[in-house]
Amino acid sequence: MNFMSVGTTGIEASRLILGCMRMSELSVAEAAEVLTAAHASGINFYDHADIYGGGKSETVFAQAAKAAGLKRDELFLQSKVGIRKGFFDFSKEHIVSSVEGILDRLETDHLDFLLLHRPDTLVEPEEVAAAFEHLEQSGKVKYFGVSNQNPMQIELLQKYVPMKLQANQLQFGPAHTPMVDAGFNVNMFDEAGLNRDGSILDYSRLKEMTIQPWSPFQVDLSQGLFIKHPAYQELTAKLQAYADERGVTLEAIVMAWILRHPAMMQPIVGSMNPERITKMCEGITVELSRQEWYDIYLSAGNSLP
């Protein structure tokens, strides 16, 4: 495993994050096997949200971490708040009470990172600032960030929030690339030129804010895994060919492709299969050339101007 700072924190976080969204579907014994495999491969950073499994993912994680013998001070725990049934809520009261629930479920006294899960258009940034200050001063959260936010939404928050927002979760993977497509097609009429995110990729690099790509194997929230999708057969074949050449799995090549981008992203993998996780981590050692990176990009049906 390789390690990196998240944003400007200087911490030594693993390049890959294990996402625990699907952990609620596992027994504690199964989850302990997943955590043992992740830990053995060097993963020390775990992503949660208060809504995953209605809170059950965090409860199962806490029990599984104990069963797997993981020590709290060797782990970075991150969770997200702000999504409620039918609305988003960035009020101080909701942020603070959600964190208290998370700490209870994770059986810990602090989170390493707290992210705001999805933008709330009714956000009052002074409220977010008050919530974050309270959480930092009480020792309940060390670092803060956002998720699915564009540069202007982040700028608005940063006008009031005194602590630097260190991370932003955004979907990114070989079958989901709007972040880079727009950059290739500046000022063009074609669909790929649509700037859907306010140039978040370049903004993040300028601000030293870590992008944590979520669902790297999915096309989007509704179309599922790209490897099973008829529109991505060429991409899947291309990745498999590179995997065979390097003696690793297709999933490892997907990780290598994301890590090859100099933005120093920290992908979140959601597999709950211990063997798949172990093999995926081998992607850390695979170096793709510039030409190979573009070859994979083009095989997903993209074109360059």
Give the binding range for ligand NAP (CB under 6 A) out of 180-188, 209-217, 233-241, 295-303: 209-217
Q: What DSSP string runs through 59-74?
A: HHHHHHHHHTT--GGG
Q: Is 225 in the site for ligand NAP (CB under 6 A)?
A: yes
Residue 169: CB minimum distance to ligand NAP, A: 4
- Residue 28 binds to ligand NAP (criterion: CB under 6 A): no
Strand order in the sheet with 76-81: 210-214, 165-171, 141-147, 111-116, 76-81, 45-47, 17-19, 268-269
Looking at the DSSP bridge assignments, the partners of residue 146 are 116, 168
**Residue 38 or residue 68: which is nearer to ligand NAP going by CB?**
38
Q: Which of 102, 123, 165, 269 binds ligand NAP (CB under 6 A)?
A: 269
User: 169 or 185, CB closer to ligand NAP?
Assistant: 169
Residue with smaller CB distance to ligand NAP, 116 or 141: 116
Q: Pick the closest to residue 235 from 216, 261, 263 (CA basis).
A: 216
- Write the DSSP assignment of 13-40 as a string of letters: EESSEEE-TTGGGS-HHHHHHHHHHHHH
Residues sharing a CB contact under 8 Å with residue 233, sequence separation 6 or more, in sequence order: none
- The encoded tokens of residue 109 equal 């006294």
How near is the Cβ of 149 to ligand NAP at its closest, in Å? Answer: 10
Tell me: does residue 185 bind ligand NAP (CB under 6 A).
no
**Which of 79, 169, 204, 210: binder of ligand NAP (CB under 6 A)?**
169
Rounded CA gap, 247 and 245, in Å? 6
3-state class (DSSP) for residue 97? helix
Q: Which stretch binds ligand NAP (CB under 6 A): 5-13, 88-96, 214-222, 239-247?
A: 214-222
What kind and span of H or E run contains 183? helix 178-184
* 3-state percent helix, strand, coil for the chain, nearest multiple of 5: 45, 15, 35
For residues 50 and 98, what is the distance between their CA atoms, to the nearest angstrom? 7
Q: Which of 273, 278, 293, 298: binder of ligand NAP (CB under 6 A)? A: 273
Say whether residue 56 binds ligand NAP (CB under 6 A): no
Helix (H) or strand (E) holding 47: strand 45-47
Q: x/- string (CB under 6 A) for ligand NAP, residues 121-150?
A: --------------------------xx--
Could you tell me if 45 and 19 are in contact, meaning their C-beta atoms sit under 8 angstroms apart? no
Q: What token pair was written down for 132?
A: 């974050």
Q: Does 236 bind ligand NAP (CB under 6 A)?
A: no
Is position 47 an interface residue for ligand NAP (rule: CB under 6 A)?
yes
Q: Is 119 in the site for ligand NAP (CB under 6 A)?
A: no
The yes or no reply on residue 177 touching ligand NAP (CB under 6 A) is no
Q: Does 215 bind ligand NAP (CB under 6 A)?
A: yes
Q: For the chain, report the end-to-end CA distance as a whole number of angstroms.
A: 36
Give whichever of 161 and 170 is closer to ligand NAP, judged by the CB atom: 170
The residue (of 47 and 50) whose beta carbon lies closer to ligand NAP is 47
Number of residues in contact with ligand NAP under rule CB under 6 A: 23
Contact 267, 259 (CB under 8 A): yes
Q: Does 76 bind ligand NAP (CB under 6 A)?
A: no
∠68-70-72 over CA atoms, to 5°? 145
Applying the rule CB under 6 A, the residues between 5 and 24 that interact with ligand NAP are 19-22
**Nearest residue by C-beta to ligand NAP?**
270
- Residues near ligand NAP (CB under 6 A) are 19-22, 47, 147-148, 169, 214-218, 225, 227, 251, 268-273, 276
